[in-house]
Chains A and B, each alone.
Chain A
Amino acid sequence: MEIPYTVKARPDTGLWNAKVGIWLFLASEVMLFGGLFSAYIFLRLGSWHWPHGILNIPIGLFNTFVLITSSVTMVFAWASLKMRNLHKFECFLGITILCGFIFLGVKSYEYYEKFHHYGLIFKNEAVANRYRAEVEAAGGQIKPSIIEGQFEVTGHIEEMDEETMKFIPDSIHSSEPMVQIISVLQAVTGKKTEHGEAVVFQQDDVYRWGPFVPHYSSYFAIYFTLTGLHALHVIGGMIVMAYFWIPGRKLYHTDPEHFTNRVEVVGLFWHFVDLVWIFLFPVLYLL
């Protein structure tokens, strides 16, 4: 059966069908991410203190550059097809897919870092105040937590037994851009990150502790939900692009305009994924 209006415009809409299809899908995607952005606002407004400076901004900036680059190479891939240059198309689509891999690789590193980064919430304010001087002497600080009246310290666990916990607090400088860049470079070159002095906490003084996984706080819950869903979209886009890169391109030899339109559709999806990240980056990393 011949599918109608894959190249020619339908008289009533003035568009080929797949274009209406992808935009309808993108409209539903707006609602999907819209609901989660709405949840983010709800959680943030309801929190006592919203964490700030806990994500690595330079690495997020790098990933933003990667996605924007992939968006422009996607446009070039489509434009190359319009100009009937299959070789250039392959090059540009290849770069786009590569950018997708880089983005996911960097994101995986960020997730890994968070899974090995800890937070510790004290039983109450009085207990937190008792440790304040000691934590500050070790170069760290005790901050208000997301839940009203509770205080937390972030860092790494060095040792623990049933009664005590040897904890290395994050430096007060850990959210400065240069410090964050150095920590990434150390991770890349395989050097062990220099941690400061340790503070010993009594287990009885700790209300709750754990790595930065979704259940640690509503901040990490919404962070992982939003970025995780976004990463799934990146993977989905890459699968479709990979299809058009190798097996799907045989359509080019029989119906180049139809193939160009298909690539335009995956391009529209890819730009949307980029567009979501444009909002995610400032919302999660900067604000």
Chain B
Amino acid sequence: MAGDDAVAIKSHLKFYVGIFAALLVLTVITVVVSYIHLGTAGNITLALVIATLKASLVAAFFMHLSSEKTTIYRLMISALFFFLVLVFLSIFAFLDPIRN
């Protein structure tokens, strides 16, 4: 990685603290909005949007995915694809039940 030398790392430290603060704030927001009734679908959507945002911050910056090699992108995109397949499998099973 280009930014791997000690000087570059040092300049990143403040940035990591910023990400940390953002994660804490988003956590508080997700708890606060859970007490506001937006309907089950609304609350679930909002909570998952915030969780995805937080997960993206962790993956992109703490796990350095924002500057990773193509091999890893290919690998994780395929994992993400099959993860979504698993999730939608359950949803489709519910939408198309066996009728008596």
A132: interface (CB < 8 Å): no
Cβ contact within 8 Å between A286 and B62: no
Cβ contact within 8 Å between B86 and A34: yes
Tell me what chain B mostly uses at the interface: helix, strand, loop, or mixed: helix
Instruction: Tell me which residues across on chain A come within 8 A of B72, comparing CB atoms.
Output: 15, 19-20, 23
Cβ contact within 8 Å between B58 and A71: yes
Cβ contact within 8 Å between B78 and A42: no
A7 to B31, CA, bound (A): 42
Q: Of residues 54 to 99 in B, which have CB atoms within 8 Å of A's CB atoms? A: 54-55, 58-59, 62-63, 69-72, 75-76, 78-80, 82-83, 86-87, 89-91, 93-94
Contacts A20-B72, A23-B75, A82-B4 given: A271-B94 contact, CB under 8 Å? Answer: no
Contact indicator per residue, chain B 1-32, by CB within 8 Å of chain A (1) or not (0): 00010100110110011011001100110110
Contact among B6, B19, B47, B62 with A82 in the assembled complex (CB-CB below 8 Å) = B6
Contacts A34-B86, A38-B89, A282-B30 given: A76-B69 contact, CB under 8 Å? Answer: no
> How many of A's residues come within 8 Å of B, CB to CB?
50
Known: A30-B83, A72-B17, A282-B48; 19 extra A-B contacts, CB below 8 A, are A13-B71, A15-B72, A20-B71, A20-B75, A41-B91, A42-B94, A45-B94, A68-B23, A68-B27, A71-B20, A71-B58, A71-B62, A72-B20, A79-B9, A271-B59, A278-B55, A281-B27, A281-B51, A283-B47
Tell me what chain A mostly uses at the interface: helix, strand, loop, or mixed: helix
Contacts A30-B83, A65-B27, A287-B44 given: A271-B58 contact, CB under 8 Å? Answer: yes
Q: Of residues 11 to 37 in A, which have CB atoms within 8 Å of B's CB atoms? A: 13-15, 19-20, 23-24, 26-28, 30-31, 34-35, 37
Cβ contact within 8 Å between A45 and B31: no
Contacts A/B (CB < 8 Å), 22 sampled? A15-B72, A23-B72, A23-B75, A27-B76, A27-B79, A34-B82, A34-B83, A37-B86, A45-B94, A57-B31, A57-B34, A64-B27, A68-B24, A68-B27, A69-B20, A72-B19, A275-B58, A278-B58, A282-B50, A286-B30, A287-B43, A287-B47
A272 to B63, CA, bound (A): 8
* A interface residues, Cβ below 8 angstroms from B: 13-15, 19-20, 23-24, 26-28, 30-31, 34-35, 37-39, 41-42, 45-46, 57, 61, 64-65, 68-69, 71-72, 74-76, 79, 82-84, 177, 267-268, 271-272, 274-275, 278-279, 281-283, 286-287
- Chain B: interface residue count, which band? 35 or more
Contacts A42-B90, A282-B50 given: A68-B20 contact, CB under 8 Å? Answer: yes
A177 to B91, CA, bound (A): 32
Instruction: Tell me which residues across on chain B come within 8 A of A267, comparing CB atoms.
Output: 62-63
Write the nearest CB–CB distance from B34 to chain A, whole angstroms.
4
Instruction: Tell me which residues across on chain B come within 8 A of A83, comparing CB atoms.
Output: 6, 9-10
Contacts A268-B63, A282-B34 given: A75-B83 contact, CB under 8 Å? Answer: no
A28 to B82, CA, bound (A): 10
A84 to B5, CA, bound (A): 11
A101 to B91, CA, bound (A): 37
